[in-house]
Structure 1
Amino acid sequence: MLVLEYAISGLLFGATYSLVAIGFTLIFGVLNRFNIAHGATLMVAAFGGATISILFGGKDSYIILIVAFLSATIIGAIVGLIVRQIAFAPLKGGSELSPFVTSAAMALILEELFVNLTQSVSIYSMEVTEFPSPLENLVFFLGEIYIRGAYLVIFFMALIIMGILHWWLHHTKSGLAIRCVEENPTAAWLMGINGNRVEIIVFAVASAIAGAAGCLISVAYGTVTPFLGSNLLLVSFVVLVLAGIGSVRGAMICGLFVGVIETVTAGLISAQTKEAVLFIILFTVLLVKPQGIFATNATERD
């Protein structure tokens, strides 16, 4: 029964890992570059949501929580566009390594900025800042299984976001343009698709999703720290490689899987061993299927 409880909690929380990995995947799929500042974008957005919740009494108000969530989503999109403008746009056509280095530098700058901010602004704490939420003490019982209300809410919110994203990618002109650029950039250019416009849309959408995920994860934890993004970036990279680089559907599924593995391992063994178990699984999958479980055709061709 305890294993089932851990597995359900991991499945519910794993949906947020899916969101983080999806944003990471979208950007890589279009630019063929890793955005190392993706985690920092998530962290900044989470702090934005926490700030609104702290200032306006979000602990007892679902309306404030919704406003904080929407604000985090918007902040994520704005920060993502700034990252693109500074770390990616000026280096277009240059070395493949350059955006990796510049986005990593931006991630470090943002992380250090918020470390200093939490030490100097009174509403924040030096190490861990509280994210007040009415979901904090909400619990449900499925028979004898204990389920945190926050996990249940963020799971359904994540499913809604993933459903909207799937519909948008497959049923709108901008979504189809993104898929065309991801599949064959040269053919997309010959068809008249504006690559710069697609990049801007992808960064805005992927970073907005990261902002939403950052807010949901912080609500689940009840706290936010300047190191939230760097911790989640590693998890999202594991999800990305497991799924197959470029597979949005795979990122959705593997995020849930990673959530289950982490929670069950932490509950039955220890929190310190969950990363080790994840990497053992990752190496095993790569030995059997190096392209990833849900590798796209484009990935396989490469």
Structure 2
Amino acid sequence: MNEVERIARFRSNHGIDHLVDVHTHFMPRKVMDKVWAYFDSAGPLIGRPWPITYRHDEEGRVARLREFGVRRFTSMLYPHKPEMAAWLNSWAADFASRTPDCLHTATFYPEPDAKDYVASAIGAGARVFKSHIQVGDYSPLDPLLDDVWGVLEDAGVPIVVHCGSGPAPGTHTGPAPMEELMRRYPKLTVIVAHMGMPEYREFLDLAERYERVYLDTTMAFTDFAEEDAPFPSDELPRLDVLRQKILLGSDFPNIPYGYIHQLEVLERVAPDSDWIRAVCRDNAAALFGLDG
């Protein structure tokens, strides 16, 4: 049985006609090539060998997700320096316009014009943003982002934030900056990437405390992640309590295993099939107002 067939069987077993993946990566070709080169070199933010499983061209990657039954996905992209985010947003708007099953994604960086291009992206139809605190090496509390968070809070647009200290800690990663950010902007809609790995407990606390804080499953529970950052077994009951706040994420295509593995590991931690349906489809559909 090939991977497409295995994923179809997974969906059938849990009554899921399609998947919604809130954490997939599509970027300009030259940016993606540099990202892949960094993974190939096992750079310091990675710290271990990390083979890319789906090293296809853009068209091939989109086709692959569609074959998997992923009806909606994102183009998570992020800058690592100033004067890059607006250009990425322009590319992402074009990608979304020619890829209707992609949720129009945008990003930002702490710089003087960030508020303006974030507002422009929202006006152009951006439905989700990405903030990569580890790669960008910036604090979410940077004063240059104050107005950005305010605009996003007012608009109610979700932001997927890589704020946990995995796979390697950054200068500003960890729960403390995000706790302060949510204290300042309590209605901000945040999706904590990777379930907050490895600070799972603290980010579960944050999701419990704030109505608009969610978590995505990206790489969590997989054999690869469990080697270095195992999910604490005593926290498993909280996955049930927070079942409406957990969304499927995969990191496709930048994963060192097959897509099916991210799905099958959910069966290890799921209290029931209703939970899997909520995580793999219903929660994201509700958050983003998706039809069908």
TM range (shorter): under 0.3
**TM-score scaled by structure 1?**
0.26
Higher normalized contact order (CA 8 Å, seq sep 6+, divided by chain length): 1
**TM-score scaled by structure 2?**
0.27
- Higher share of residues assigned helix: 1
Pick the structure with greater CA Rg: 1
- Higher share of residues assigned strand: 2
